[in-house]
Structure 1
Amino acid sequence: MPHHPQDDWSRPVPRSSARGRGDGRRDDRRAAPGDDDWDDGWDDGRTRALPQSRDDGWADRYRDASPDDRYAEAYDGRGSPPPRPPRRRRPRYGFRRFMATLMLLVVAYVVSMAVVVAMVWGSVGRVEATPRVADRPGASSGASYLLVGTDSREQLTQEQQSAFGTGFAEGHRADTVMLLHVPTIGDPTLVSLPRDSFVTIRDHGQNKLNAAHSIGGPPLLVDTVEQATGIRIDGYLEIGFGGFVQVVDKVGGVHMCLAAPAKDKKAHVDLQAGCQDLTGPEALGYVRMRYNDSRGDLGRVERQRQFLAALVEEMTGPATLLNPVRLHSVGTATGRALSLGENTSMLEAGRIALAMRAISNGNGQSVTVPVADVNYMTGVGSTVLWNEQGAAALFDALRRGDPISVQP
């Protein structure tokens, strides 16, 4: 006789404490044939449904329950339920795709930054700056770099030279000379050496410091500074008027707070007191003016140090260093404006930038070489005479890596 599902209706539905009568007796009510709302997972694979006559709303709750709740409701710890069917786990494609995309973006960013840095470094000019002499000073504690701003007008048109008040002189002369000392341990020190300092130039007698650059270029200027200070120069950096203006404009101006108005007709500058962003031409006039400064060349070198520190901070800020597009724009403009000594490496250039940023943040000292007379008359005109004892103490401390006591 053929088998019919109805033949097994006598098999009881498992008892549940959640829907039972509470007296421990078996519920003999049967599942209606054909109702597949409840899959109890029994070995025979047949589907049984709960009675539709219940009026307590349990069937609706059961239908809306999760598979785990149904399983617990059906067996409730009574008897030995059959093994639970294995669950299918969805592959975590979303998370993997996210991580793969993130890694791809990181790699692309690192590669783009490497390419930009290489392009910036490739745009930097080179100049011979190592003295070819046998009596150079020995190595000192840390490293020392000579930072020079020249009056080169090569990157300025005649209209710009007239507008900026730079004149039309040919050649290169050192308009700004600074000694940056970075000790092995401790904070850096930036020392201004006035361009009119009265010093001895090898094979050319005594003259103003900037005359060394005019006579023999960077090598003779480096040699003159080494002989005057007793400190070996490890790297050289030079920038001209035109490059200075371009760099300032490329970073969007430099924020400066002026304690007093800055006005100088010869330098073509007219700035009000207070905080403001200086454009390239304004910045050039600000660092060059000296005729309307009561302190003359000493006030001028102080403004140069302050502005240079602010400019480096702007150039090395996160908005520039972490943005490949801006880094390329600012970096290549700076690279074309700069000339580094032929032996100055990328590591040393980075060290110079970090030291200048530290000084701009107050972690270092910015001073002028001790001066005895700012108007010392000589055969070459008015010069700046150093205080021999104070200057010697300053340079000796830098060579040994000792703290300095010179007032800014």
Structure 2
Amino acid sequence: MVLGAAAGGWVYWKLNDNITSVDINSALGDDRPAKPVVSPSSSSAAPLPGQAMNILVLGSDSRTGAENQRLGGGSEGSARSDTAMVFHIDAGGTSGQVVSIPRDTLVTRPACPLPDGGESPERHGVMFNTAYAVGGPVCAVKTVESFTGVRMDHYLEIDFAGFARLVDAVGGVTVTLDQDIDDDKSHLTLEAGTHTLDGEQALGLARTRYGLPGGSDLARIELQQRLVKALLTRISDTSLLTDPARLYDVAITATASITTDTGLDSLPELVGFAQSLRALEPGAMETVTLPVVRAPSDPNRVVADEPEASELWASLR
């Protein structure tokens, strides 16, 4: 019993200690869209019946560490939000939407608090993914909330290496491709059809752009959405719950691979969050992309297509 308790305590400590977090609420204060009033007894991670939830999920092309550089990073210390998705969970936690934000979308980046105590200046007509590069998760959240008017209840971030490790930990992901892919930049060559991809191949698919017709970021987003559904499907596989060794491996990998807001930075909060979504089937998640049109100022950039974009964000409030 003593050995079992000690082992259990070590596992708890290891998983809890793995989690990295950012205190976004303190950094942004009250200068944010309103959120629904919740009862004092409710968990900050679990939605109440009748209450929806929005989570900003970023895939960062962090250059920190040898593994990230090997998988496609550049100079040490730089990072951008290579992938941005708002996960909207409907009231009751049984369905939702994944809304992708093209990284080339031109937005107004608000003034953001910086880690050194300063503040970045407001900028108009800049690429969305500059927000993360300028002010990290805090500025990314503030920029999304500024141009959507939607409160982000939580924040999750995963980098190149973390995504690849997570895919490997769950045993790979199965995706079906409508066309051949041959992309030297992402180091991926696949024929059309169904494939089970390991972590490095899945990362290559998420980064593929120039192997697609026209090299479009919007085409890449569609592949990323397929990967997200495939990963959610594999994670929800019941065999994970009946294989303690595999479940532990996935838990260790997941907690070591993500950065969260402080509302999800402990094992009990993450577990409560996961349990609140146990009725959510991957097939019940609709994937959409922010409606955009080519920017008048730059044919290589896009801007939100109105009024469709505003209507989409209004449906998430």
Normalised by the length of structure 2, the TM-score is 0.80
Structure 1 residue 128 displacement after superposition: 3.0
Structure 1 residue 347 displacement after superposition: 5.1
Structure 2 residue aligned with 1:281, among 192, 196, 200? Answer: 200
The alignment status of 1:294 with 2:204, answered yes or no, reads no
Q: SS at 1:137's partner residue?
A: coil
1:2-401 aligned within 5 A:
119-130=14-25, 131-139=27-35, 141-157=51-67, 161-162=69-70, 164-168=71-75, 170-185=77-92, 187-203=95-111, 204-206=122-124, 207-294=126-213, 296-344=216-264, 345-346=269-270, 349-350=273-274, 354=278, 358=281, 360=282, 362-373=283-294, 377-378=297-298, 382-399=300-317
Q: SS at 1:170's partner residue?
A: coil
Q: Residue 16 of structure 1 corresponds to which residue in structure 2?
A: none
- Structure-2 change in CA distance of 1:347 and 1:249 (3 Å): closer
Counterparts of 2:109 and 2:24 in 1: how far apart (Å)? 16
Counterparts of 1:109 and 1:306 in 2: how far apart (Å)? 41
Q: Is the 8 A contact 2:169 2:246 kept in 1?
A: no
Q: Is the 8 A contact 2:165 2:199 kept in 1?
A: yes
Q: Aligned-pair RMSD on alpha carbons?
A: 2.8
Letter in 2 for 1:188: G
Q: SS at 2:316's partner residue?
A: helix
Q: Residue 44 of structure 1 corresponds to which residue in structure 2?
A: none
Q: Is the 8 A contact 1:178 1:193 kept in 2?
A: yes
Normalised by the length of structure 1, the TM-score is 0.63
Q: SS at 2:82's partner residue?
A: strand
Q: Residue 42 of structure 2 corresponds to which residue in structure 1?
A: none
Q: SS at 2:315's partner residue?
A: helix
Counterparts of 1:252 and 1:391 in 2: how far apart (Å)? 37
Letter in 2 for 1:192: S
Q: Deviations over 1:347-389 (max 9, x none)?
A: 564168648x62x3x213110011122x6544xx832211120
Q: Is the 8 A contact 2:182 2:190 kept in 1?
A: yes
Letter in 2 for 1:125: T
Counterparts of 1:327 and 1:114 in 2: how far apart (Å)? 17
Q: SS at 2:66's partner residue?
A: coil
Q: Deviations over 1:192-245 (max 9, x none)?
A: 011111111113212111101111111111011011111101000000011111
- Structure-2 change in CA distance of 1:292 and 1:328 (3 Å): same
Compare relative contact order (CA 8 Å, sep 6+) and give the higher one, 1 or 2.
2
Letter in 1 for 2:210: Y
Letter in 1 for 2:253: A
Counterparts of 2:83 and 2:31 in 1: how far apart (Å)? 26
Q: Residue 92 of structure 1 corresponds to which residue in structure 2?
A: none
Comparing 329-338 with 124-133, greater Cα deviation is found at 124-133
Counterparts of 2:207 and 2:182 in 1: how far apart (Å)? 11
- Structure-2 change in CA distance of 1:192 and 1:376 (3 Å): farther
Counterparts of 2:142 and 2:242 in 1: how far apart (Å)? 38
Q: SS at 2:196's partner residue?
A: strand
Letter in 1 for 2:309: A
The count of aligned residue pairs is 284
Q: Deviations over 1:2-42 (max 9, x none)?
A: xxxxxxxxxxxxxxxxxxxxxxxxxxxxxxxxxxxxxxxxx
Counterparts of 2:57 and 2:272 in 1: how far apart (Å)? 13
The percentage of counterpart residues that share the same residue type is: 32
Q: Deviations over 1:238-292 (max 9, x none)?
A: 0001111111222222111212112111111111221121111111111011123
Structure 1 residue 119 displacement after superposition: 4.4
Which is higher, the Rg of structure 1 or of structure 2? Answer: 1
Q: SS at 2:174's partner residue?
A: strand
Structure 1 residue 125 displacement after superposition: 1.9
Q: Is the 8 A contact 2:291 2:308 kept in 1?
A: yes
- Structure-2 change in CA distance of 1:281 and 1:202 (3 Å): same
Q: Is the 8 A contact 1:155 1:243 kept in 2?
A: no
Comparing 295-304 with 115-124, greater Cα deviation is found at 115-124
Structure 1 residue 393 displacement after superposition: 0.7
Q: Residue 114 of structure 2 corresponds to which residue in structure 1?
A: none
